[in-house]
C-alpha cells in the first residue's frame, strides 16, 4: 500500500483528499497534519467523514514510512514545509508556489506542472508535482487542442464562474451565505493569478502565440464547480474543430466532448472535464465545466499520484456526478 501524508489537513482540498483516499484501493492515509488543530478528531472538522475515518486525529508532524506527501497548507507555505520532508519522499503541492517555471525548483526537487492531459509522461518520471489551479485546469483543457495544432491566431476571451469553495475557508466575507446567496460578482478582471500559468502553458505548447488572453472571473452563487466560456477566431468548421478535440483527448479518460450544452451538475463530485463546442460566424466558442475541488484540485492530485506510482490513471477516481 502507498503510505500518504497530508499537510494542511483542515482545508477544503485536504478534506476532499481524505474523502477520496479512504476509498482508494492502493493507499493508506498515514498521517494528516494540522498546525492549528493537532490532536483533534478529523471528523470534528470534516464532519462528512463521521463514520468513515474512525477515530483518526490530526497530528502535528508526519509519521514515519511516508511514500508521498500532499501539501495543502495554502499559497506561500510549501517551501517551509519542504524543509522538513526527505528528498526521497514524493510530493504533490496543491498551492501555486511551484507552478511557474522560474519558481519550480527547491533544492534537489524540480516540480513538474501537473496537468496530465498535457504532460503525462513527464509526470510519471517525476517525484515532485505542482498541481494546477482550478481555473487554469478548466481553461487550459478548453484551449490545449488548438494550441497543439498551432491554431491560436488571435486574442482569447474568457469568462468563468466559480463556487465559494474556490476561495478557501479563510475568505470569510465573500463566502458568507448572506453575501453569496442570490448574488454574483466579477473580481480580479484581467489580473487573476491563474492567468500566468495559463499563458505560460499555452506558449509552451504553441511558441508562436503572442496574442492576448482576456479573462474575467466571477464569484457565483454555488458551493462548488466552475463553468468557463471562451471564444477565439477559427477558420475551421465546427466538425473539424470537434475532430481536433476528440483526437487530442482520445487517450485521456477524464475529458469528454459533449454534443449538447453542458452544466456544472454534470461534473460535481467527479474528476471529469466536459467540453462543449459551438461555432458562430468565425468564432469558436468552447464551454468547459469541472468540479473545482476534484478535477480542479484534490482529484487531479490523486490522478497525478496514480501516474507517479504507475497505477491506472482512473484508480480511486471512478466517480459519478450528483445530478439532483
Asked if residue 112 lies in contact with residue 128, where contact means CB atoms within 8 angstroms, the answer is yes
* Span between the terminal Cα atoms of the chain, in Å: 35
Q: Does domain 2-132+295-308 have CATH number 3.40.50.720?
A: yes
Residue 192 pLDDT: 86
Cell of 23: 476509498
What does each C-alpha distance from 224 to 11, 74, 114, 130, 177 come to in angstroms?
A: 14, 18, 21, 22, 13
Residue intervals in the chain for CATH 3.30.360.10: 134-292
pLDDT tens for the chain, residues 1 to 324: 999 999 999 989 999 999 999 999 999 999 999 988 988 999 999 999 999 999 999 999 998 899 999 999 877 889 999 999 999 999 999 999 999 999 999 999 999 999 999 999 999 999 999 999 999 999 999 999 999 999 999 999 999 999 888 766 556 666 667 777 888 999 899 998 889 999 999 999 999 999 999 999 999 998 899 999 999 999 999 999 999 999 999 999 999 999 999 999 999 999 999 999 999 999 999 999 999 999 999 999 999 999 999 999 999 999 999 877
Report the distance separating Cα 153 and Cα 151, nearest Å: 6
Report the distance separating Cα 6 and Cα 68, nearest Å: 9
Residue 182 pLDDT: 85
Looking only at Cα atoms, what is the longest distance across the chain? 61
CB environment 175-211: b (16+ within 10 A), e (fewer): beeeebeeeeeeeeeeebebbebbeebbeebbeebee
Residue intervals in the chain for CATH 3.40.50.720: 2-132+295-308
Residue 46 pLDDT: 93
Residue 173 pLDDT: 60
Catalytic status, residue 72:
no
DSSP state letter for 207: T
DSSP three-state, residue 8: coil
Side-chain half-sphere exposure of 129, counting CA atoms within 13 A? 33
Report the distance separating Cα 10 and Cα 31, nearest Å: 13
Residue 118 pLDDT: 97
Side-chain half-sphere exposure of 313, counting CA atoms within 13 A? 16
DSSP string, 249-261: TTT-TTEEEESS-
Q: Does domain 134-292 have CATH number 3.90.380.10?
A: no
- Work out the burial of residue 243: count CB atoms within 10 Å of its CB; fewer than 13 is exposed, 13-18 middle, 19 or more buried: middle
| Sheet hosting strand 112-113, strand order edge to edge | 27-33, 2-7, 68-71, 90-93, 128-130, 112-113
Q: Are strands 156-162 and 2-7 parallel, antiparallel or unpaired?
A: unpaired
Active-site entry in 72, 134, 273, 315: 134
Amino acid at each position: 500500500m502507498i503510505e500518504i501524508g497530508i499537510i494542511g489537513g483542515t482545508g477544503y482540498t485536504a478534506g476532499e483528499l481524505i474523502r477520496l483516499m479512504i476509498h482508494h484501493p492502493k493507499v493508506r492515509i498515514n498521517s494528516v497534519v494540522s498546525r492549528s488543530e493537532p490532536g483533534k478528531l478529523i471528523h470534528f472538522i470534516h464532519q462528512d467523514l463521521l463514520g468513515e475515518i474512525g477515530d483518526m486525529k490530526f497530528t502535528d508532524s508526519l509519521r514515519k514510512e511516508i511514500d508521498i506527501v500532499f501539501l495543502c497548507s495554502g499559497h506561500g507555505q510549501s517551501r517551509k514545509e519542504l524543509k522538513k520532508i526527505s528528498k526521497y519522499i514524493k510530493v504533490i503541492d496543491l498551492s501555486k508556489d511551484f507552478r511557474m517555471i522560474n519558481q519550480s525548483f527547491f533544492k534537489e526537487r524540480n516540480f513538474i506542472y501537473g496537468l496530465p492531459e498535457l504532460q503525462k509522461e513527464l509526470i510519471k518520471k517525476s517525484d515532485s508535482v505542482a498541481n494546477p489551479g482550478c481555473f487554469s485546469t478548466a481553461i487550459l483543457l478548453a484551449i490545449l487542442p488548438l494550441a497543439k495544432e498551432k491554431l491560436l491566431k488571435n486574442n482569447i476571451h474568457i469568462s468563468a464562474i466559480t463556487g465559494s469553495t474556490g476561495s478557501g475557508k479563510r475568505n470569510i466575507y465573500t463566502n458568507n451565505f448572506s453575501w453569496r446567496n442570490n448574488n454574483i460578482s466579477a473580481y480580479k478582471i484581467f489580473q487573476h493569478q491563474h492567468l500566468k500559468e495559463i499563458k505560460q502553458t499555452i506558449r509552451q505548447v504553441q511558441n508562436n502565440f503572442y496574442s492576448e488572453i482576456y479573462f474575467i472571473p466571477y464569484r457565483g452563487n454555488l458551493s462548488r464547480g466552475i463553468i468557463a466560456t471562451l471564444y477565439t477566431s477559427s477558420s475551421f468548421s465546427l466538425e473539424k474543430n470537434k475532430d481536433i478535440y476528440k483526437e487530442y483527448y482520445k487517450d485521456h479518460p477524464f475529458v469528454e466532448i459533449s454534443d449538447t450544452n453542458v452544466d456544472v451538475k454534470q461534473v460535481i463530485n467527479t474528476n471529469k472535464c466536459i467540453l462543449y463546442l459551438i461555432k458562430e460566424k468565425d468564432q469558436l466558442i468552447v464551454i468547459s465545466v469541472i468540479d473545482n475541488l476534484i478535477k480542479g484540485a484534490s482529484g487531479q492530485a490523486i490522478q497525478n499520484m496514480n501516474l507517479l506510482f504507475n497505477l491506472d490513471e482512473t484508480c480511486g477516481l471512478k466517480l459519478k456526478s450528483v445530478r439532483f
